[in-house]
Structure 1
Amino acid sequence: MSQWFAEYGLFLAQLVTLVAVILAALAIVSRAKSGQARSQLRIEELNKRYRARQRQLRLAGLDKKRRKAVLKAFKRDDKRRDKGDEASGSGQRPTLWVLDFHGDIKASGTTRLAEEISLILGVIGEKDEVAIRLESPGGLVHAYGLAAAQLDRLRDAGVTTTVCIDKVAASGGYMMACCADRLRAAPFAVLGSIGVVAQLPNIHRLLKRHDVDVELLTAGRYKRTLTVLGENTQEGREKFIEELESTHELFKRFVAERRPVLDIDGIATGETWYGSQALDKGLIDAVGTSEAYLLERMSDARVVTLSLEKRRGVTERLGRAVSRGIEGGLQRVYEALEASGWQRR
């Protein structure tokens, strides 16, 4: 038995060594390719995708004979469409360029959004439009200020812009959304939260109780107003609140300039509203989902999605695959536990 354990241990050691060598080789290959382009452009015309899938659905329930007849009808329809484009000039049909922005607390997608907007501004037609499917609960003031400035570039260039919100555009997310000419939101999308918040713990009394001193040295009266470790003063609190109020005023002015129909003092209370309520408040222009809007526009425009996607190395893709596998397993366990709870009721 002891010999079996020894051989098994040797096998595991060899296996671990082999995996380490493979990962090291993949890392070397990934670094060797790091000088190549970091992102790739993906473009898709949704009109073609939807038409192809709808045709699949129509064919699914037909017998072989009927299917042939319908396929011929599809070909005739394509020929008529091509002739129509040639007669009118394919360039005359407007394009709806569709971008996506999913914001985190740091608005990390801003760099990619800026590049995508730069690309569109280089090819945009006079009758074209840009639609942004935006989802964000907000985050850091300076991060979302920069993100909103990217959408302002479209406004400054005279490009008609529509922002569609299916779930949430609050705080910094709404700061971005209000840069558009038109805002659409799903009935229960969350909007608003035009306010500023800041919080931090202070453990000065805990440290003092254990005879721990903290020396905070600054040059400048208000270089540090509130701290985590030091003793906070009333003067520091008042200055901190003053800075919050100043930021809030800038936020209100920014929104009011882009949506003058708003009663800015009435809605800049930090409250949020659902889509149907937001319409009554003037926060949006229409209630509806992004999917419904894109389908509506397909009748008179080419609807084209555009995205810059980061090129990921082999090791990174492997790591993400493992991570997704673990997350998927945990999610299935959670769903099983939830289901068992429902069954008990």
Structure 2
Amino acid sequence: MPVVRLHGAIGMGGPLRQSVTMAGVAAALDKAFSMPGAKEVALIVNSPGGSPVQSHLIHQRIRALSREKEIGVAAFVEDVAASGGYMIACAADEIVADPSSIVGSIGVVSAGFGFDRAIERLGIERRLYASGRNKAILDPFQPEKAEDVERLKELQREVHEHFIALVKERRGAALSDHPDMFTGAFWSGAAALGLGLVDRLGDLRTTMRERWGDKVELKSVTPKTSLLKRLSGRSEGVGVGLAEEAIAALEARALWGRFGL
């Protein structure tokens, strides 16, 4: 039984952090669905979310392979399948969660910092030149404008509506009409079962043995990339690379931290 592990913040990769991207998981998914004799593909999902685009690309690839190969998919939630992580889990025909897993967070969030007052106190002058009046909206070194925030919220609403439609399509009549279902709220695996966000409680080994017999063999097909290879693949200057790595690490840590992890 092929098993693909999808662990980490989505689209927030780095040489020292696990992450989930389409480029990173495509080969493993293709291999899993092409494994001779495979009757089902198991996904282990452990992600607090991240990029909605990468989440959707992975979701679509899983669905396409499932249809093409006529192989079912089961997703097993470990610590968390939230936001984009839950979108990926929805690509499965069945979602299985631990009672203490965290599931849901069907919403869209953007975060950043405002440095305009800080650089003013430091006596730093911001020089920014752009062609197009909207090119530099939400620049963190300039005062926030109400119209720029509204533009961002409009984009978020569009992405959120797409997310909601996807969940409704995949989960169908199983979903409850809980008023907080699409507010970004999240629940334990046990509560998510009652809400229709997951199909059952359990774990990978027990579920697969119940379904395919005690002799079922679970084979991991998640690609392993060496740390050296990942480090050598960076083209940025050392200082820039380390700065970007630190910021990305904080963003990923914040995502996990929202769920107490």
- TM-score interval w.r.t. the shorter chain? 0.7 to 0.9
- Amino acid of the structure 1 residue aligned with 2:113: P
CA pair 217-255 structure 1, distance change in 2 beyond 3 A: farther
Aligned to 1:310: 225
The two structures have a TM-score, normalised by structure 2, of 0.74
Which of 265, 276, 289 is residue 203 of structure 2 equivalent to? Answer: 289
**Deviation digits for residues 134-185 of structure 1 (CA, Å, limit 9, x no counterpart):** 1111112223233323322233323211001132101111010011100110
1:97 alignment counterpart: 2
Match of 1:131 in 2: 42
Structure 1 residues 264 and 141, CA, compared in 2 at 3 Å: closer, same or farther? farther
Residue of 154, 157, 170 corresponding to 2:65? 154
2:218 match: secondary structure: strand
Does the 8 Å contact 2:108/2:159 carry over to 1? yes
Answer whether contact 1:195 1:269 (CA < 8 A) is retained.
yes
Of Structure 1 and Structure 2, the greater helix share is in 1
Matched, 1:201 2:105: no
Q: Which runs of 5+ in 1 are unaligned?
A: 1-95, 317-345
Contact 1:163 1:182 in 2 (8 A): yes
> C-alpha separation between the residues in 2 aligned to 1:105 and 1:123?
26
| Distance in 2 between residues matched to 1:264 and 1:121, nearest whole Å | 35
Partner AA of 1:137 in structure 2: P
Match of 1:176 among 88, 91, 99: 88
Alignment deviations for residues 310-343 of structure 1 (CA, whole Å, 9 cap, x no partner): 35669x9xxxxxxxxxxxxxxxxxxxxxxxxxxx
Post-superposition shift, 1:246?
A: 1.6
User: 1:237 & 1:311 partners in 2: Cα distance?
Assistant: 41
1:215–1:231 distance in 2 versus 1, CA, 3 Å = farther
- The equivalent residue for 1:84 is none
Q: Is the 8 A contact 1:98 1:130 kept in 2?
A: yes
Measure how far apart 1:194 and its partner are. Answer: 0.6
Q: Report deviation, 1:210.
A: 4.6
1:96-130 superposed Cα distances (whole Å, 9 cap, x missing partner): 322222122426343342112212333455x7111
Q: Which amino acid is 2:7 matched to?
A: H
Q: Percent identity?
A: 32
Q: For the Cα contact (< 8 Å) 1:183–1:286, is it kept in 2? A: yes
> In structure 1, what is the Cα distance between the partners aligned to 2:46 and 2:104?
13
Work out the number of aligned pairs and report it: 219
Larger Rg: 1
